[in-house]
Amino acid sequence: MTAPAKSDRRREGPAEQAVAAALARIRSIDGRVGAFTDVTAERALATALALDDGAVSGPLAGVAFGVKNLFDVAGLATRAGSKINRELAPAGRDAALVTRMEAAGAVLLGALNMGEYAYDFTGENVHDGPSRNPRDLTRMSGGSSGGSGAAVAAGLVDVALASDTNGSIRVPSALCGCFGLKPTYGRLTRARTFPFVQSLDHLGPIARSTRLLALAYDAMQGPDRDDPATTTRAPEPAAPSLDDGAGGLRIATLGGHFARGGEPDCFEAVARAAAFLGADRVVELPEAARARAAAYVITATEGAALHLDRLRARPDDFDPAVRDRMIAGATIPAPYVAKAQRFRRWFAEAAAHVFDEVDVLLAPATPCRAPRLGQTTFTLDGVTLPVRPNLGVFTQPISFIGLPVACAPVFLDDGLPLGVQIIAAPWREADALRVARALETAGVAQFREAKL
Amino acid sequence: MSEDADKLDAHLDAATALLELRVAPEWRGSILSHLDATMKAARFVSEFPLDDEVEPAPVFAPAAREDAL
């Protein structure tokens, strides 16, 4: 299996026509969605001509993609959702993953909206306006890669590249109803993207099918000396085994922290996937709540350290919600941060023991369906909590130790979707994608393009 | 806000002075609530017993030119 199926791409035929149609769709629809912050029309048409001339080809030939606006795109200022960074000089070269996507034949359509400096789970942005959920424009897209989830769900792109520090690929994938992949920490190069928390930052794709997810992921693998966290392991392509089915994999549902503190719907979505997969076993990932707390501390402090000079010089130019969290984070005493990084080692070892017994773990991606735009609190299990940090309650402990996760969209009814996290052992992305593909093939998980 | 309110209040003033961070009066309540939440998380992690030999997760790798890919 080396090429996208016809259904994977929104458009067939000559690339020039397809790209022109995609650009027209962005012009007609995106004013209501708010997914794009920059449209690279000239570049897209030039790429399309090169494809039609045969000068460029590859496994992603003609696949339309966009990138969260923390990826460098030559000629654009990398705003990272902020007011401050859009004053920077335009990037001189593309992010490494943009280069790899285009080398495989994909066509870049532009840069996508995101929460300021990626410190967000809502998809709202005070400077650019919210990226809206294409399935209900009054609802959140999820963050911080809100524009990435919205662009895929709205059929504006086939694939969107995004980042995930605590859940920012998986939360918008779930709320917008897309497939997403957060690979193992260190798998994909982050070179020439704007960081948030380098200890925890991952990049990965969101897509309208598992096949596109696997093909994009495979095209982006490989070492890169420009990112010291990137693995020197040889690429391990996922596409060749994508259709192998879930047979032979030991699959369990996560209990404890991952089985409480959410609306019944989110657990029902997991139960549907588990029932199809015959996964009747429940296992515990010990101290998951503490892992979330440790990720919270590392994020608040390391993120604040990255932005300290900007917090001093221009605090009024930040999104207040980001600024206030970062100022608080900047003041946390260092011993707590050092302890969190040592606890992280302990928790990674504890998870490794769990993977002695199972190959794949299932958990909800978010505790609820997409909240309303502007909603600041929700009530889960009778407890009223702030929305912004708590949409990531189930994603944060997993990215904390860099485990690969495929997120599969589940529609329980005609309403908004939910996401199921399919979690594998480190470097076993292919297993997670096989399970996601099996759920997609069976119709348990599915992508539905939003009606706009 | 927890029973730590006075300590958090004093800490915020001292730490932001040392870090040369400005706190406008209208931001203060929000910052204090985030400080409270982050300190609760920090203490929760800190309470967990770990052997002294447990290494931090990040492992330093010396950068030598011959390692260049």
Q: Say how many CA atoms lie within 13 Å of A143 toward its Cβ.
A: 29
Q: Name the pTM for this structure.
A: 0.97
Which DSSP letter does residue A243 get?
A: G
Strands (E), B1-69: none
Q: What are phi and psi of A185, to 5 degrees?
A: -55, 130
Residue positions of A annotated with a catalytic role: 68, 144, 168
Q: Which residues of chain A have pLDDT under 70?
A: 1-7, 9-12
Compute the Cα dihedral for A113, A118, A121, A125 and give only its sign: negative
Determine contact: B56 vs chain A, CB below 8 A.
yes
* Structural domain boundaries in chain A: 6-293+321-442
Q: Say how many CA atoms lie within 13 Å of A50 toward its Cβ.
A: 18
For residue A3, the model assigns a pLDDT of 57
Compute the Cα dihedral for A25, A27, A28, A29 and give only its sign: positive
Segment B31-60 shows an average pLDDT of 97
Strands (E), A255-311: 281-283
**Has residue B2 got a pLDDT over 70?**
no
Say yes or no for a CB contact (<8 Å) between A328 and B32: yes
In Å, how far from its chain's centre is CA A364? 15
For residue A381, the model assigns a pLDDT of 86
Determine contact: B2 vs chain A, CB below 8 A.
no
**Angle, vertex CA A151, rays to CA A148 and CA A152, nearest 5:** 90
For residue A12, the model assigns a pLDDT of 67
**A300 to chain B: closest CA residue:** B38
Interface test with A, best of B38, B39, B43, B47 (most A CBs within 10 A): B38
Whole-number Å distance between alpha carbons of A145 and A121: 8
Work out the angle between the directed axes of helices A334-357 and A288-306 (0-180°, nearest 10): 140
Determine contact: B34 vs chain A, CB below 8 A.
yes
Nearest one of A237, A220, A206 to A430, comparing CA atoms = A237
**Angle, vertex CA A233, rays to CA A228 and CA A239, nearest 5:** 120
Interface test with A, best of B11, B45, B47 (most A CBs within 10 A): B45
Q: What are phi and psi of A113, to 5 degrees?
A: -55, 150
How do A405-410 and A179-182 pair as beta strands? antiparallel
Nearest-Å Rg of the Cα atoms of chain A is: 20
Residues A79 and A113 sit within 8 Å (Cβ to Cβ): no
pLDDT tens per residue across span A181-190: 999 999 999 9
Counting one residue from A and one from B, how many pairs have CB atoms under 8 Å apart? 115
Determine contact: A83 vs chain B, CB below 8 A.
no
Tell me the chain A residues in contact with residue B53 when contact means C-beta distances shorter than 8 Å: none
- A159 sits in which H/E element: strand A159-164
Cβ within 8 Å of residue A384, ≥6 positions away: A377, A378
Architecture of domain A6-293+321-442: Alpha-Beta Complex (3.90)
Instruction: Give me chain B's average pLDDT, please.
Output: 92
Q: What is the ipTM of this complex?
A: 0.95
Whole-number Å distance between alpha carbons of A363 and A256: 11
For residue A9, the model assigns a pLDDT of 66
Count of other CB atoms within 10 angstroms of residue B49: 6
**B31 to chain A: closest CA residue:** A324
Say yes or no for a CB contact (<8 Å) between B37 and A389: yes
Segment B29-53 shows an average pLDDT of 97
Say yes or no for a CB contact (<8 Å) between B23 and A327: yes
Say yes or no for a CB contact (<8 Å) between B69 and A346: no
Count of other CB atoms within 10 angstroms of residue B55: 11
